């Protein structure tokens, strides 16, 4: 009930000004331009996740291995089922097998797998990347606080500290950090933003703040990014949410990632600066990030 009241308040505020909800720390309702996909773009790459396993010609699971923030990324948490990619988050009392030691052990200093929360990530790094265009996924978000899913883009230039994002920018097309907000009590919101100049003291970024989707933890929604040489334009269900050009827009090819992450550090889950709240799942529970497709377009 409270969530419906919040959404009604947001609707009233947006009549006054589309930016007013964000001034009160509330999500806004997408109300910008329509994407006009068929008129402006042509499809050049896609994965509909047909079959019974991940297409290794399109995706890799070895972009980052073992420990990731408050949990662990592991191949076993990634599956293809009923025409969807499924990334599962669950707790394991016993460490899962390390599939990477034999292949990468001589060049990577592995963090040991331990009991804890396990989830996964897939990436097109080394298999597909593109400069400019429109990038979209259709998905259902995982139902838990204390963790989040994301559709995002990267390249190696992100780590260059030069006060510019033009050589590479992490672009978070969406992150699902607001399953149940602990302050306002609303859910159904995601956030979008960018990061550049690495991840240390010189790191910089910007955000278009929080936006409502349509019952995204139960129903499919689309999340998209239009990227040109001047700006990043974010969309939910084909309607613009906001634009960013802070630091200069990346001019270099970027690859795609789909992932889930657990808030925390050193493999230990806890509520962190992302504000996702304490883990609401208990050992024995699972949360699923279900992706219907990923599609990439170029400008006509």
Q: pTM for the complete prediction?
A: 0.93
Q: Domains in the chain and their CATH numbers?
A: 36-299 (2.60.120.200)
Predicted pLDDT of residue 9: 64
pLDDT confidence of residue 166: 97
Predicted pLDDT of residue 286: 97
More confident residue, 182 or 227: 227
Distance CA 293, CA 135 (A): 11
* Averaged pLDDT, 50-56: 95
User: Which positions ≥6 away from 164 have C-beta within 8 Å?
Assistant: 196, 197, 247, 248
Give pLDDT tens digits for 69-80: 999 999 999 999
The answer to whether 132 touches 214, Cβ cutoff 8 Å, is no
Mean pLDDT of 72-101: 95
Q: Return the percentage of the chain with pLDDT > 70, whole number.
A: 87
According to the model, what pLDDT value does residue 120 have? Answer: 97
Does 37 score more than 90 pLDDT?
A: yes
pLDDT at 182 over 60: no
> Residue 157 has what pLDDT?
96
């Amino acid at each position: 009930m409270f969530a419906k009241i919040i959404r009604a308040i947001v609707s009233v505020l947006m009549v006054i000004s589309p930016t007013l909800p964000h001034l009160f720390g509330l999500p806004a309702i997408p109300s910008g331009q329509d994407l006009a996909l068929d008129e402006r773009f042509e499809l050049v790459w896609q994965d509909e996740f047909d079959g019974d396993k991940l297409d290794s010609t399109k995706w890799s699971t070895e972009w980052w291995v073992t420990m990731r923030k408050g949990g662990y990324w592991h191949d076993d948490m990634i599956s293809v089922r009923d025409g969807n990619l499924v990334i599962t988050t669950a707790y394991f009392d016993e460490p899962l097998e390390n599939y990477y030691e034999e292949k990468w052990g001589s060049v990577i200093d592995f963090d040991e797998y331990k009991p804890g929360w396990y989830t996964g990530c897939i990436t097109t790094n080394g298999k597909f990347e593109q400069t400019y265009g429109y990038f979209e996924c259709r998905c259902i978000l995982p139902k838990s606080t204390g963790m989040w899913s994301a559709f995002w883009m990267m390249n190696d230039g992100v780590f260059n500290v030069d006060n510019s994002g033009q050589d590479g920018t992490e672009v978070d097309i969406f992150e699902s950090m607001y399953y149940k907000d602990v302050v306002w009590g609303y859910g159904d919101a995601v956030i979008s933003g960018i990061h550049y100049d690495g991840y240390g003291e010189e790191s910089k970024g910007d955000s278009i703040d929080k936006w409502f989707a349509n019952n995204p933890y139960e129903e499919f929604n689309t999340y998209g990014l239009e990227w040109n040489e001047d700006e990043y334009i974010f969309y939910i269900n084909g309607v613009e949410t906001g634009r960013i050009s802070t630091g200069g827009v990346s001019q270099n090819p970027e690859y795609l990632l789909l992932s889930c992450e657990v808030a925390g550090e050193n493999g230990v889950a806890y509520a962190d600066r992302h504000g996702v709240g304490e883990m609401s799942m208990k050992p024995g529970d699972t949360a699923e990030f279900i992706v219907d497709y990923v599609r990439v377009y170029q400008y006509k």
